[in-house]
């Protein structure tokens, strides 16, 4: 566990210069380092987020964690489908998951009231920067991929609203 925390702190410090970090990120690195990074970020997001809940803290804490931990998987999957259409053969799912998981560093401040929206925009900017640095695509192509991904996610949310009873 100590090694994971040490690796997390080293990675978080490197993310202060995300362009350099993503440039040095191997295209195929495996799931474990980004997964551990995402797991720790999700926990560090869940603990302070749960403090703002007055009732059912455990339930909402679990929901906060599941949301924080699962969204990078979903985002990477949708982004992978979009990238297959727009950037044929440049990205694998593992690469996009790594970029998306490391962009989740924004979770460390998104629990602060009023910062959730701006940090989501920052997360998408970090994902776009990661796509540019890792995949060597243009900023415009990364922006279009992210725009399509965001549109697909909004569409899916609207599609599932009646099922979830909202």
Grade residue 165 by pLDDT with cuts at 50, 70 and 90.
Answer: confident
Contact 123, 57 (CB under 8 A): no
Angle of helix 139-164 relative to helix 57-86, nearest 10 degrees, comes to: 130
Grade residue 149 by pLDDT with cuts at 50, 70 and 90.
Answer: very high
Q: How many helices (H) and strands (E) would you count in the chain? A: 8, 0
Across residues 59-88, what is the average pLDDT? 95
Could you report the per-residue pLDDT of 85-117, keeping only the tens digit for each?
A: 999 889 999 999 999 999 999 999 999 999 999
- Terminal alpha carbon distance of the chain: 40
Which tokens is 17 given?
Answer: 């210069």
């Amino acid at each position: 566990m100590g090694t994971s925390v040490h690796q997390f702190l080293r990675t978080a410090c490197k993310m202060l210069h995300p362009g350099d970090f993503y440039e040095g990120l191997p295209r195929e690195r495996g799931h474990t380092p980004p997964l551990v990074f995402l797991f720790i970020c999700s926990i560090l997001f869940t603990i302070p987020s749960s403090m703002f809940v007055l009732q059912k803290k455990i339930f909402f804490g679990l929901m906060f964690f599941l949301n924080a931990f699962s969204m990078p998987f979903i985002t990477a999957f949708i982004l992978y489908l979009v990238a297959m259409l727009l950037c044929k053969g440049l990205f694998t799912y593992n690469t996009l998951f790594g970029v998306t998981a490391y962009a989740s560093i924004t979770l460390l401040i998104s629990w602060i009231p009023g910062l959730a929206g701006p940090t989501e925009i920052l997360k998408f900017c970090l994902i776009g920067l990661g796509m540019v640095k890792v995949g060597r695509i243009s900023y415009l192509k990364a922006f279009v991929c992210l725009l399509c991904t965001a549109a697909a996610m909004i569409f899916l949310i609207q599609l599932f609203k009646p099922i979830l009873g909202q």
